[in-house]
Structure 1
Amino acid sequence: MTSNLSLYPVGIEEDIIIRINDVNPHIICSLCFGYFIDATSIVECLHTFCKKCIVKHLQVSKHCPTCNIKVHETQPLLNLRADRTLQDIVYKLVPGLFENEEERREEFYKSRGMLIKKKREGEENLGPKLTTVFTNPNAHQYKYDEQICLCLEKHSGQHVELPTMTYKLRSLEKKFVRCSIRVLVAHLLAIIRKKLDVPHQVNLQLLCCGTVLDVEMSMKQIYLMQWYDKPSPMLLFYKIEVPG
């Protein structure tokens, strides 16, 4: 006996209308009751919240606010992971959310002097624009992302003593990179590690303007916070984290 799971005859396409109220329970943070911003999941139970909401919660409690499972005894923030797929879905489902969040962040950076001035009319655009994921139905794919140009330079005098050898950090043969604005620091560190055969015992760090970058930061975040209004390419330094 077979069952036909098709809703419509083969070859006929129909539009399915889904009300936002039907999906709200799946895209709303249970801590702030707003739509997910920087959706972040707890690795033990996979419950998801806004990043700032769950970080604030874990500062006073070590348990998941939904199921009460213990996240971590001493360092619960290590057990959080960004859910970028879910965040992209939220931005696609909720009209205006992406644009409003980008404007809010721009104002935040500007109020703290991180955004110096806007690009003058007619001036060449040297960095990623603040565009929306709605402009292309395939915008969730990396190949449709806006691009940013990087220069990956080695920090001077980098070597570390290992039990069996002395490892000296080399310069990349090809230091200029063009990549998606969604690429993370972790992705670049993985590429550098592979290209330079960095031993697994050696920790790498990436810096911009003298600041060590968190592995979860995207190139877009770094551009807005550290490189806005500076000429392309964005200059990043990689170095060995030498144990103290």
Structure 2
Amino acid sequence: MFKIGELNQYLTCGLCRGYLYEASTITECMHTFCKNCIVRHCMEVSLHCPVCSILIHPTDPFVHIRLDRMIQDIVYKILPSVADTEIRNIEKFYEAHPEVEPKDIQDPPPKPRVSPRDKDVPHPQCEPALISLVLEADGPEAAHVDKLEKKFVRVVGTATVDNVCHFLRKKLNLHEQKQVELYCCGDSMSRETCTLQDIHDRFYTDQENLILLQYRISDFD
């Protein structure tokens, strides 16, 4: 048993302060918001993350904003009433706007759904695959390197090595004179420009999208 208040910081949107709906994560910093909230923020307020102020993208922020099925599934599992409430709101919307063609909303979906305003916008046939990362400190200085509070991270497979390095710099509060080096199966990934899915396909033969990445923190030469 646990108090739901202890988990609110992980289940709520940093903009509307409500429980996440159509959870969408910024791949540059891994902060999550309701889809409509972060889209409105980017279009009307700023191209920077509303939590950490990192630049999402200089021209097209939606390149780095992805639906986060894992977090949304957790919200629905812990708080099934969230899905029920949203469905009632959608029903009320269609009742108030009979000119809009209703969607099938009989059952609460287990995964994020396309909002009514996006129903006519073409979407890819499938979302990018998710990769589970295990991030561990490595090297002779590992004992003196700050450890991540949570070493397990779930990201889209299209994220790059640079994205992971940037994430580590933020989470470990590294000074600008420090550099992050990543290794997978003993090979350096620091100068790679490939995606995490490419790394998985190169080093792993199993079907589970899981990658162990080791990081080393050092001074720039």
TM-score (norm 1): 0.43
TM-score (norm 2): 0.47
For the pair shown, which has the larger CA radius of gyration, 1 or 2?
1
